[in-house]
Amino acid sequence: MCGRFTFVATPEEVMEEYQLELPFDFPVRYNIAPTQDILTIINDGERNRAGNMRWGLIPFWAKDKTIGNKMINARVETADEKPSFKRLMERRRCLILADSFYEWKKDGKGKRPMRIKVSDRQIFTFAGLWDRWKQGEEELVTCTILTKEANDFMSDIHHRMPVILPKSHEQDWLEFNLKNATDMKNFALSLPEEELEAYEVSQHVNNPRNDDEHCIKALTE
């Protein structure tokens, strides 16, 4: 799964990297947790647009918005079959911006938090799905991060990992035109692997209320 990540890039860096306007500012985040707002990019059929979405998918048909607390991730291997995700795989895909994510490695001492980065990119994106939920006067735009079986590098840390989009494939994922859900699943599963690196951080990151530079410091520092 992917349950925490970071994004410490500046608005200027995002605008330069993705050649789009940001109609709002956003804070540096060292410990992003589910149900919080996160920076995403969608394509509206004419252009790419950046915006905030709440992390934790609430399908448009949901009666209770708390379902989003359990839908922070979606397994890409079955996303083309699940009612909550199939329609979104076809027409509501997004980029979720990050610069690292956390995973907890199990060993004889318990669980050790690890920070994982893409080796040659400061900013990268997770493959995401989004939906719009409305009930009465309340309206929320929410999203989920697609995950897959861990690659050789990640398998030493955890058996699942987020789907990371290589830079050259980000626009293919965003493309607005209606796509077949199974085709998009196969696309996500066939993506080239990004080279990753990881280091252990302190238990400070375990508490989602902690959102400061100490979260990303190597344990040996």
Residue positions annotated with a catalytic role: 2, 103
Which residue from 184, 211, 189, 215 is spatially nearest to 202, judged by alpha carbons?
Answer: 215
Which residue from 46, 23, 63, 32 is spatially nearest to 143, judged by alpha carbons?
Answer: 32
Report the DSSP beta bridge partners of residue 177. Answer: none
Quote the CA–CA distance of 131 and 137 in Å, as a whole number.
17
Pairing of strands 138-149, 73-75: parallel
Quote the CA–CA distance of 182 and 190 in Å, as a whole number.
12
